[in-house]
């Protein structure tokens, strides 16, 4: 399955989520290919740090900031992997568009903040365009860096705002703002590998994976 973690807005946690997803799937014994479609190359750097530290399983990671190259390579190599996770940069780019043409699922992380909710319309417009050139693109919005508390007003408002953007399904599983996600990804690890483990973060990631795959 090809999953693109993408949003035209930056700073929503795409790379953190993509790295966490890729490693978690690899830990389940899947052949995973992580593609960094962002010119900043953060995911690639994180995976290099993982490799340098000798953490297993190793993650196949490639960097294709150019959309046509990304498309050609994924088409060429897709059959060799069980899961392909594409991290597509925080702006409209050829890499993000190429990913939209290829991906089974577009996972759009967004924070419960006004700017993030506004930006959903931008990525929704791209989803519309992508759907005009292909069939079967599933677009899922997932609340990331959610506020603490079951009854956080901002979380509820942000979730409700997704209903105004019909291009997206809203994923009821969300990820809270937890340092564990960022700290783990910064070392090229998933939260599942952190020691001591953050069980809440791990559970959230597991729930997300269960809902996605």
Q: Which two tokens stand for residue 57?
A: 């399983």
d(CA 152, CA 212): 24
Q: How far is the CB of 16 from other proteins (least distance, A)?
A: 23
Tokens for 209, please give them: 């994976």
Fill in the per-residue mask, 28 to 67: x = in contact with other proteins (CB under 8 A), - = not in contact: ---------------------------------------x
Nearer to other proteins, 67 or 188 (CB): 67
Q: What's the closest the beta carbon of residue 129 comes to other proteins, in angstroms?
A: 6
Kindly report the number of other CB atoms within 10 A of residue 187's CB atom: 15
Task: Using CB under 8 A, pick the residue from 78, 133, 160, 211 that binds other proteins.
Answer: 133
Q: Which of 23, 47, 98, 201 binds other proteins (CB under 8 A)?
A: 98
What DSSP line would sit under 61-87, residue for residue? EEE--SHHHHHHHHHHHGGG-SEEEEE
Among 9, 14, 25, 97, binds other proteins (CB under 8 A): 97
Of 77 and 183, CB closest to other proteins: 77
Q: Cis (ω within 30 of 0) for the bond into 196? A: yes
Using CB under 8 A, pick the residue from 130, 143, 180, 191 that binds other proteins. 130
Q: Is 88 in contact with 67 (CB distance < 8 Å)?
A: no
Burial class of residue 188 (count of CB atoms within 10 Å of its CB; 0-12, 13-18, 19+): buried
Comparing CB distances to other proteins, the nearer of 130 and 142 is 130
Please tell me whether residue 132 binds other proteins under the rule CB under 8 A. Answer: yes
Among residues 129, 157, 169, 203, the one that binds other proteins under rule CB under 8 A: 129
**Which position among 134, 153, 197, 199 is part of the footprint of other proteins (CB under 8 A)?**
134
Report yes or no: 202 and 192 within 8 Å, Cβ to Cβ: yes
Beta carbons of 137 and 130 less than 8 angstroms apart:
yes
Helix axes 14-27, 42-53, angle to 10 degrees: 40
Residues that bind other proteins (CB under 8 A): 67-68, 71, 91-94, 96-98, 100-101, 129-130, 132-134
């Amino acid at each position: 399955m090809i999953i693109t973690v993408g949003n035209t807005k930056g700073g929503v946690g795409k790379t953190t989520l993509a790295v966490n997803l890729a490693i978690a799937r690899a830990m389940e014994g899947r052949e995973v290919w992580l593609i960094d479609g962002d010119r900043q190359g953060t995911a690639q750097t994180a995976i290099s740090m993982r490799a340098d530290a000798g953490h297993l399983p190793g993650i196949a990671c490639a960097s294709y900031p150019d959309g046509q190259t990304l498309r050609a390579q994924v088409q060429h190599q897709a059959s060799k992997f069980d899961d392909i996770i594409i991290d597509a940069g925080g702006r409209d780019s050829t890499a993000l568009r190429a990913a939209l043409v290829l991906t089974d699922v577009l996972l759009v992380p967004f924070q419960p903040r006004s700017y993030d909710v506004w930006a959903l319309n931008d990525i929704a417009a791209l989803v519309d365009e992508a759907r005009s050139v292909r069939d079967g693109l599933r677009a899922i919005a997932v609340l990331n860096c959610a506020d603490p508390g079951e009854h956080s007003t901002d979380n509820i408002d942000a979730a409700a705002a997704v209903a105004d953007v019909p291009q997206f399904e809203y994923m009821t599983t969300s990820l809270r703002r937890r340092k564990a996600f960022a700290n783990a990804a910064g070392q090229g690890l998933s939260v599942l590998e952190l020691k001591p483990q953050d069980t809440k973060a791990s559970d959230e990631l597991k729930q997300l994976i269960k809902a996605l795959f």
